[in-house]
Structure 1
Amino acid sequence: MPDGARPERRRQERGVRRMEQLLDAAAGLFAEIGYDSATTNKIAARAGVSPGTLYQFFSSKEDIAQALADRYIPQLEQAHRDATSGDLDALGPADLVDRIVDPIIAMNVANPGMKDLIGRSELPEHIIAPARRVQAAVAGRVAEVIGRQRPELDEAARRRYATTVLRLFATFVPLAVSAGDDEREQVIAEFKTVLRGYLTEVLAAG
């Protein structure tokens, strides 16, 4: 490598590290105080840099939100693939709940700022649309499983049951993310109990 290329490469590596540092700081603040309250000045302070340094990498808080969404969406897609792939039709309600809950909870706990960010309807469509597509795909997969076990149900009923499952996730996931380690296990257990009860009733009816 030419001698002149080494300093440039080091500068690029420092820039990447600084950008990740700022994104980590933003994610932490979004989780703690919410997107609305997390100003660029607060993000810079959390990252231990000046606001001017932040603006070298990001032009606005929305720009930071876009970069975080780009980080989150592949993880969200992978978690949902893990939750909904394979032969779900062969699983009873207890195993089905374990399959779909565990990877999604784990991904949200690992990325606590994600829920507040991609769940905000007022953000530009290009930021939140990918997450909505993933959620719609999961709802479709759950509706498909319900339909195979309850073939007498029409499409509207299948979608309604699947939407209820997603709403239960929307209720319990933030509780699990914000809980301490000991309490989190209790929240997840309670969530699984509620979801198993609901799916047992849905799949057995008819």
Structure 2
Amino acid sequence: MPENAETEAKEQPRRRQARGERRIAQLLEAAATVFTTTGYTAASTNAIAREAGVSPGTLYQFFPNKEAIAIELGGRLVHEMQTAYGEALAPVDPATPLEEVVGAAVDRFMAFNCDHPVFFALMHGPDIPGRMAEDHDALHTGLVNRLETLMTSLLPEAPQADVTRTAHMVLGLYKAGLELVLAHEGAEREAYIREVKNVLVRYLDPLVGDRLGRSGSTATP
């Protein structure tokens, strides 16, 4: 086989793979829009194909049904979220003011959720596929464990039950605020993000304020 022909033969599978990956990304982006707009139950493969600008037959070349699409999309988002909370819940320098610690973590999580509203729509819906429910439970457990580790470093003398309860409260308060944040846009969304930070600072300050630097409370009255 001539050298040029051999090179071309090797390149063809790579090009096909690259085209396939681009098509999958296109379909997942379309699915994210549909799931966010209509919810998982009301969504259909036809609607996803239409949003992606392809035929249903093209979609079925890559995914057998909408559940497979949701699982693939959810899996990618869970991985990205794990990276996000790994960065947001890193060990804290005791000299850092509590407001700064809370603000940085909330900003990191809010940025992810606002950039990917489909994550909340899928992971907190009443009808998510079973495997995604398992991924969500694992993510929740990982978040609580990470928060417990952070709380233990700030409250070394506290009983483990108190640390666990505090971690669950922090996550619960954040999730409650997140739902309100995602329901608004623009300046109102930013206002709700500030309120989430204020609530968390007010809750944590009596518990860990003495162990972290203070710069004066930024909470609104």
Q: Tell me if both proteins adopt one fold, taking TM over 0.5 as the criterion.
A: yes
1:74-105 C-alpha deviation (Å, 9 max, x unpaired) = 21011101111123555443122113211111
Counterpart in the other structure of 2:75: 70
RMSD, aligned α-carbons: 2.4
2:87 is the alignment partner of 1:82: yes
**The structure with more radius of gyration:** 2
Aligned residues between the structures = 205
Q: Which residue of 1 aligns with 2:41?
A: 36
Q: Which residue of the partner structure matches residue 146 of structure 1?
A: 151
Residues 30, 38 of structure 1: 8 Å contact kept: yes
Q: Distance in 1 between matches of 2:88 and 2:170?
A: 13
- For residues 1-206 of structure 1, what are the structure 2 equivalents within 5 Å? 2-87=7-92, 89-120=94-125, 122-203=127-208
Rounded Cα–Cα distance in structure 2 between residues aligned with 1:181 and 1:190: 15
Deviant stretches of 4+, over 6 Å: none
Identity fraction in percent: 35
Secondary structure of the structure 2 residue equivalent to 1:36: coil
Q: Greater CA deviation, 147-156 or 74-83?
A: 147-156
Q: Report the 3-state secondary structure (helix = DSSP H, G, I; strand = E; otherwise coil) of the residue aligned with 2:43.
A: coil
| Cα distance between partner residues in 2 of 1:182 and 1:30 | 25
2-structure distance, mates of 1:103, 1:90: 20
Match of 2:218 in 1: none
- The two structures have a TM-score, normalised by structure 1, of 0.86
Q: 1:73 to 1:88 in 2, by over 3 A?
A: farther
3-state secondary structure, aligned to 1:86: coil
Aligned residue type for 1:19: I
Q: Which runs of 5+ in 2 are unaligned?
A: 1-5, 211-221
Runs of at least 5 residues in structure 1 that lack an aligned partner in the other structure: none
How far apart in 1 are the matches of 2:39 and 2:130?
A: 19
For the 8 Å contact 2:154–2:208, the answer to whether it is kept is yes
